[in-house]
Every structure is written in structure tokens, then in C-alpha cells.
Structure 1
Amino acid sequence: MTMSFTVTKVAEELVAPSGGGGGAQPSLPLSSIDHAMGLKFFVEVVATYEGGGLLQSPADAIRAALARGLAHYYPVAGRLVVSDEGELEVACTGEGVWFVEAKASRYSLSDLRNLEFPLAIPKEELLPCPPPSLDQHEMILMLQVTELKCGGFAVGVKFHHMVFDGIGAGLFLKAIGDIARGLPGPAVEPVWLREAIPAPPIRHPKPPPTVAYNFVRSLRDFPPHAINAIKDSYARGTSHRCSTFDALSAVLWRSRVRAIGLAPEADAHFVFPADVRHLVNAAAAGAYYGNCVYCSTVSKKSELVARAPMAEIVGWIREAKASLAAKFAAWAAGDFEDDPFRVPIGYDTLNLSDWRRVGFHEVDYGSGAPRFVAPLNHHVFFAGGILLKRPAPEQGVRFVGQVVTREHEEDFVQQLKEFV
């Protein structure tokens, strides 16, 4: 048992698959997209829950459901190893997922302030970490359940991005929730099916990033009336509708470009991942949980982005979305000059992901949907933001990210105030 100032970790163990599931191949290759995007890191996410419902002991229920769920997601209980070709692959060893049961008896959900920074409980205490005797870099997923004094609890997850994308991790966690609520197994059976992902030749291998930035954390809530005002303005000017993602992407990109002061003729980039499961055979076969996204990039001169009406920027983003199928088909056929997964990552680039529908907000272990979901990664090599649902019961969208340095923070905040 280990103790800290705020959290007591009362049980730590490897949870192995129960009830079979050992029929997987000894080793499984990863896909071209798994390898293409620079994903050799763990995504860190915490979700907070009310107590009650079906759960008398959240940790016990989730631990038992995890063991049964791994029988369906057997590769997740394995380890990442280097193949004879020098590439990472999954060895289906069945060793298990590192699981931690913890208690934070001094804290209730209200004390956590919806996981806004600075965190009331340091993230290291809400996330699982195996002992030195286990190499966590080989692991695929780790999970911690921290029970609070009010009966609520927090679920901290670290999943390896080489094996899961956001939708894939959401599918896995929803499967654990299905079983914790009494279902015999996942509502949709998972598939590995990496062979369904196209594997065109990589023309220009992506070099690792070398420039680190001292980003500050940004948080901004967009209530429904603010979002609808942007969407209504676009509709009046164009006679077309736009999505919430289109509207907020335009706001965030222009606000950031204005704040960071790029040279007028410098390129400004906006990058966003789009799910392409509907464009590959993985869509019909079950719950495909590997990386299945295509990165769309919109590039314009800085001065043009800074001065453009919001409707024009929305139009650029919508055009990029409309071209997704054709561009993905061209990439799959090897019909490209520059690898589209070699996206810009400098300070002139905003990367934005939308987590509102990847599944994290729908994971129910027996006491209902989470009150709030928070990403906890600390990025230094690229400006990255995430769109989330606002903490229940509030409506609208929360933006969290690390997208500007301290010198540009005030200007960025002032730009966003125009829209909130």
C-alpha cells in the first residue's frame, strides 16, 4: 500500500483476462496509421462520477468487469514489443492491465472543481503508475479508480495511442461499463482487423519534433447561446448550416492567429483528425479500436486568417471536411506526393480534437454518465486543444488546451471573450 498527501492507493495489481479470450495470435501487427502519426505516448484522461446506482464498491465492480472485458479485448492485456523488422507490435501475452484501487477520503466531487487547473489532487495521484519492476512503456492500458468521501469516484486511464485512438479507447471503456452494469459482454464485439487499414508507402518519414514550447493551459466555456450566435451568423450570410465544431474551430483558430503575432505573409495552419471508419472495411465488422483517422490540414496566410470574417473561415474548414473522402482514397491508393500524416507541428499550427462524441462521455459503470471528463496530458511540442462537453448539468462546449505561451495568453483570452 502506498500513501500520499491526498490519495491512498489501497490495492495495486495486474488484472488478467477471465473467461477465455486466449485464441488471439501470439503477436499482432499495428496498422500504417498506428505507425504514421507519431503516437508513441500514453493519452491520460480522468472522468468523475456520482456515487450510488448499481455500484456499492466502484473499484470492485470495475475491476471484475475489466477482467471479463479483457477476454473480449485480449490484445489489450498483452505488451508492446519490437518486431524483427524493428516496428512495434502487440505480443498477446495475457499478462494483464495494471489496476489501482485508491481512496481520497478528504475530497468530494465538489472539491475537485470539475478537474479545472490547478487540480485539487495532482494528476499523478489520479492516474495509475506501475512499479519499476514493470515496464509501463510496454503496457497498452492502465486504470485507476479513486473513491471519494462523498461516494463519488474518479476513473483515471492511461492508454497507449499506438493501439487506441479516442473512439477506440471509448469503445473499450464503454465495454467495461456494459459488463459492470450486468451485461454478459460488450454491446458490440471488438475487432483487431488492422489489415483493413490501407498501407501505402511512406514517401517522407516524419522526423521527431525538436522544438519545445512552454505552453500555458487554456480553458474556455462556450454556452449554447454563444455557439448558436456563431452558427446563426454563418447561416444568414451563406444560407448553409455549419456544425458546432466548424464554428468553434473558426473562433479558436482566428483568435489564436491574432494573439500570437505571426508575420503577415507567414503560413498559419489548422489541423484536425477526422474519423474514417466509414471509409474502410473496419466499419462493418464490429468495434474497431485502432487508430482510424485522417488528419486534415487547412493552411492560409496569417494576415488572411486574422482579417477574414468568421463565415469565411468556417467555409475553409467545411471545404476541408468535404474533401476528406477523396483525399483519404488518394492516400490509400498511394496517390500523393507529401505524406498527409506528416502534418505541421510548429507554433504556427493549431491542432484541435473533438472528444464530445468519441465515447468518453457515455461510459457508464452503473451510476450514470460522468459528470466531467478531462484530458491531462502535458504537451510541449505542438499546440493542441480538445473540445469537451461542459460539466453536467451545464450545456454547451468546453475548450481545454495548451495552445499559447505565457506571452500570448492575455491576447488569446481577450480574443475569445468576443464570442462568450
Structure 2
Amino acid sequence: MTTGTAVTKSSPVVVVPSESGKTTPPPAAYTIALSLFDLIMLPFPMKLVLAFDRPIHEPVETIKRALSRALHHYQPVAGCLDGEGGIACTGEGVAFVAASASCALDEAMATLQEMDLTSRFPGVFCCDTDPLLLVQVTEFSCGGFVVGVTWNHLLADGAGIGQFLCAVGELARGVSPPSIAPVRLWDDALQALPPTVVTTQRSTVDNNGSRYLVRHDIAVPVSLVSRIKGESGGCTAFEAVAAVIWWCRIFDGDAPAPLCFPCNVRTLVGAGDGYYGNCVVGQVVPATSGAVASRSVADLARLIRRAKENVPDLLLSTSGSDGGKAAAPPDAGVQAAPPLQLYDGFGVISWVNLGFDAADFGGGGAVRVMWHEDRTLLPGCMARGKR
């Protein structure tokens, strides 16, 4: 047994796919190819923490059994990378850790980010021999519990993991089969990424080093968001929050200060509701610090909205002459920036509407959804709602 900050963890066990709670022999191994949407990602770990304040019966065992049954429907999740651009669906399973905390959940809410609530991969990046998914369930003294999920980004994006966790929740509540039929194989009939987008995305990821950055929690008041919405002509909460943080993060006038954010493009490329692989592209709004500082926050929100509206054009870009920047919003006050480097750029990611809040293991949805990172490679913000 190992003890962290008020958290006692058991040794990891392997959860393998099963049907109706009974372990079944793994199917004959098969391999599915990763799509270009997967391969533009590095195999870095993503961490998610879901906190539930309403008790359920034996949360560790309930979620463990439901996880096993979910893997029966989501066979690739229980596999591993084959080292050749695919996932070997071997049924090897995922790592599962049971843990307990010595305090009540409401007493720990302010310090959840510092608690040991997730499992870790051995290295900074995931190896081919690592499981694709790690799950930890931590019970608190009040009966509340936290589900910590760590996954290899090559497996799925946030929407895909949200769908998977909703399926685990349904199975925990006795709903079988899951309401959404999972699809992981990329259909050749679906729209692929243009070569310019692939080049730009890979360049952006590869240019980011491994420097440790300081983490802060910043609250953007609802009143400020509402004011920006009114001044901008009706932007979204994401656009308002991104504009505020972008405006605050300024340096000297000539320094590049591009904003980047991922966009879910499932509907644009024809992927169905059940597809849970990666299906995002990063949109960049090029700028310098001076250009950002000279604009109102409402103006910046409008620029972000325009960039979002231009994502379909980004996917249609097939010429290499534009360097993959065809979708950058044209504006005389915002100058083009060089390729995104470690500290130049600023990324904003929203985990709202990805399905995390909808995951219900029997007592209702999560009261807190958190990004839980050991290290951050790119200056950025993980935006979330009031929870």
C-alpha cells in the first residue's frame, strides 16, 4: 500500500473485457489503424477527475464491474499500440486502482487538484507497452467518491472519453447495452485531413518542449462574461473567457501571441455519434502581443468566433501555399505569427459539452470536473463551468 496526501491506494489490478459480468476469453486479436486525426497527436497522457458527492453502493466494485462490461463493447480501449500506427485489440485490459481518502469530499474540494486521485504512466509520454487507459476510484469518508481517468491521447479525444465514461455509467446503472453504439474504426468514406493541416498540426505539437510551467486557477466572473457577450454581439461563454485570458497574457508589442484552440469536427467530416477516436483540429488566431493589447476584449471574442466559423475552410484547404493558415481570420490589426513555439502561443481548451458532466454511475452527475495534469507543455487554460 502507498500513501499520498490523505489518499491510500491499493496496488493496480488489470480489468479485462467481460460480458454480463462474466469474464470471457479475449477475441482473436485484430488491429485497427489509427487515423490521421489520431496520428497528429503525440502519445501524451490526458488526465480527468470527476467528483461525485452522492454515495452509491460500493463505488469501487460497482465501477470496476461496469468498466469491465464497457470494455466488452469498446474492445480497442482494452488493447495496446502495435508500434506500427495501429491499436492491437488484444483484450489485455486496463489498469484499475482502488483508493480511499481520510476526509470528507466537501472538506477536500479546494485541494482536489493537489491530491493523488489519478494513476500515472511511467514516463512523460505513453509507451506502446502501456495500457491505453488507467482508472482510479477514490472513496471519501462521507460516501462521496472521485473517478480519476488517465488515457493515451492517441486512443481518443475528450468527446470520445466522455462517451466511454457515459457508457460505463449506464452499465453501472443497469442500462445494457449502452445507448450509443461505439465506433472506433475510421471509415475511408469519411473526410480526411488535408496535407497542409497535417503538416501544421504536427509542427505545432513537435515544436513544444518539456518545460515545467506554473499552474494557477483563475475565476472569470459570470458578470464579466455576460458583459462581454453583450458588447461582442452575442459571443459564447468560451469565446468570452478565452478573450479575457488572452488579453491578460501580453508581453512586449512585437512578441508573437497567437491563440490556439481545438475544435471538434465530427459533424464536418461525417463521423457519427458513436465515433470515439480523435476528431479535432487546432485552430490558430495569429497575433502579436501589441495587437492583442490594443483591442477590446469584445473585439478579441469576435476574432475567436470568426476563427471558429472558418474551421470548415481549414478542412477544405488542400494547397500547400497557405502553410495551413487558410482559416486564419483576416484582420489588419492582428498580424500573422510564426509557427507556434513553446512559450509564444497560448492554448485554450474547454471541457464543457464533452459528456463528462453526463457520466452517472448511479447517484447523478459529477459536482466537479477537473483537468488534472502533472506537467504542462504549453501555456494554456482549461476552461470549465461553475462546477
Same fold (TM over 0.5): yes
| Structure 1 residue corresponding to 2:343, chosen from 347, 351, 374 | 347
Change (3 A) 1:203 1:345: closer
**Among residues 313, 323, 326, which one is paired with 1:338 in the alignment?**
323
Q: Distance in 2 between matches of 1:379 and 1:146?
A: 22
Gaps of 5+ in 2: 328-337
* Structure-2 change in CA distance of 1:289 and 1:345 (3 Å): farther
Structure 1 residues 380 and 221: alpha-carbon distance in aligned structure 2, compared to 1, 3 A threshold:
closer
The answer (yes or no) to whether the contact 2:71–2:78 under 8 Å persists in 1 is yes
Aligned partners of 2:377, 2:179: CA distance in 1, in Å? Answer: 38
Q: Which has the higher strand share?
A: 1
Query: Hey, what does 1:216 align to over in structure 2?
Result: 214
Q: Equivalent residue for 2:57?
A: 56
Pair 1:360 & 2:356 matched: yes
Question: Paired residue for 1:304, among 288, 291, 305?
Answer: 291
Tell me, in whole angstroms, the C-alpha distance in 2 between the residues paired with 1:313 and 1:129.
37
TM-score by length of 1: 0.79
Change (3 A) 1:48 1:210: closer
The one of 267, 292, 300 equivalent to 1:313 is 300
Would you say the 8 A contact 1:231–1:242 is kept in 2?
yes
Contact 1:81 1:138 in 2 (8 A): no
Does the 8 Å CA contact 2:65/2:172 hold for their aligned counterparts? yes
Partner of 2:230: 232
Identity of counterpart residues, as a percentage?
33
Whether 1:33 and 2:37 are equivalent positions in the alignment is: yes
Distance in 2 (CA, whole Å) between partners of 1:309 and 1:17 is: 53
1:150 aligns with 2:142: yes
Q: How does 1:11-410 map to 2 (within 5 A)?
A: 12-19=12-19, 26-37=30-41, 39-52=42-55, 55-83=56-84, 88-104=85-101, 106-115=102-111, 119=114, 121=115, 125-129=116-120, 138-195=130-187, 196=190, 198-201=192-195, 202-203=198-199, 206=203, 208-209=206-207, 211-235=209-233, 241-257=234-250, 261-262=251-252, 264-283=253-272, 286-330=273-317, 333=318, 337-339=322-324, 344-391=340-387
Change (3 A) 1:5 1:294: closer
- How many angstroms does 1:81 deviate by? 2.2
Report the secondary structure of 2:90's partner residue.
coil
Please state whether the residue corresponding to 1:142 is helix, strand or coil.
strand
In 2, the alpha carbon distance for the partners of 1:224 and 1:5 equals 33
- In the alignment, is the contact (CA less than 8 A) between 2:120 and 2:150 conserved in 1? no
Correspondence for 1:417: none
Deviations 1:154-212 (A, max 9, x none): 11110110111010111111110111111012210110132335154455763734655
CA contact (8 A) 1:31 1:197 kept: no
Residue in 1 aligned with 2:330? none
- For residues 211 and 184 of structure 1, what CA distance do their matches in structure 2 show? 44
Counterpart of 1:365, as a letter, is F
Deviation at 1:213, TM superposition (A): 4.1
Distance 1:290 1:357 in 2: 17
Task: Give the 3 Å change call, closer, same or farther, for CA 5–303 of structure 1 in structure 2.
Answer: closer
CA 1:214–1:64 in 2, change beyond 3 Å: closer, same or farther? closer
Q: Does structure 1 conserve the Cα–Cα contact (< 8 Å) formed by 2:80 and 2:128?
A: no
Q: Distance in 2 between matches of 1:350 and 1:381?
A: 11
User: Aligned-residue CA RMSD in angstroms?
Assistant: 2.7
Letter in 1 for 2:14: L
1:63 deviates by 0.6
Q: Secondary structure at the match of 1:190?
A: coil
Q: Decide whether aligned partners of structure 1 residues 190 and 336 sit closer, same or farther in structure 2, where only a CA change above 3 A counts.
A: farther
Q: How many residues align?
A: 364
Q: Is the 8 A contact 1:33 1:197 kept in 2?
A: no
Label 1:63 to 1:136 Cα distance change in 2 as closer, same or farther (>3 A). farther
- Cα deviation code 1:113-146 (max 9, x no counterpart): 24455x2x3xxx31125899x9785211010111
